Chains A and B, each alone.
Chain A
Amino acid sequence: KQEVTQIPAALSVPEGENLVLNCSFTDSAIYNLQWFRQDPGKGLTSLLLIQSSQREQTSGRLNASLDKSSGRSTLYIAASQPGDSATYLCASKNRDDKIIFGKGTRLHILP
């Protein structure tokens, strides 16, 4: 059974710093891994999707990597801004068609 873990649960960094959010999964037989952002009281917004055959995806200041062999994905945020403050979730789509979410990392960018 797939388990997705995100550590740390919460993170505070000063504005302008680069940062990395971590996501690990126990079953490497995945179709894809997706990163989302959730603002308080809102739904989830898709940030990046990495297919199982890919190593990374980039969108603006965001870069997501995938290493299936080690069961890890990272989300790199460059030059962080206060508007990046949110909860970031990763989710794996598995061979049984289930999409399993981590519990998220609550990010706070300090102005």
Chain B
Amino acid sequence: DTAVSQTPKYLVTQMGNDKSIKCEQNLGHDTMYWYKQDSKKFLKIMFSYNNKELIINETVPNRFSPKSPDKAHLNLHINSLELGDSAVYFCASSQEELAGVIGELFFGEGSRLTVL
């Protein structure tokens, strides 16, 4: 039973296209994140949502638009894809102050985006 699931796992598309990546968590967490892992494997936060509200936006181009229809889902839509968008995108979730434990992160398997 996957805790954080992302679809699709692989995505190959042409420059200029628009694409979406979906994420769902069944852990009952109230916070969800999108991270980008570049070719050098460096993980960098893009967005964070808490109970459907945007709380972190790390100077990501406005071609990237996260959408959270409910606290179990956080989707990432990317407009006008560029070569530099090629990366692995990870969704993650956490629960704040659950039983005294602050914010253990759980990750999805990642979505590898290749822009041609």
Interface of A toward B, CB cutoff 8 Å: 31-32, 34, 36, 38, 41-46, 49, 51, 87, 89, 91, 93, 97-101, 103-104
Contact = CB atoms under 8 A, between A and B. Distances in A.
Interface centre among A34, A43, A87 (most CB of B within 10 A): A43
A104 B40 CA distance: 10
Looking at chain A's contact residues, the main secondary structure is strand
B41 A104 contact: yes
B102 A93 contact: yes
A103 B33 contact: no
B110 A43 contact: yes
Interface string B4-27: 100000000000000000000000
B53 to A, nearest CB: 12
Interface stretch (B42-50, B60-68, B78-86): B42-50
Nearest to B43: A101
A31 B56 contact: no
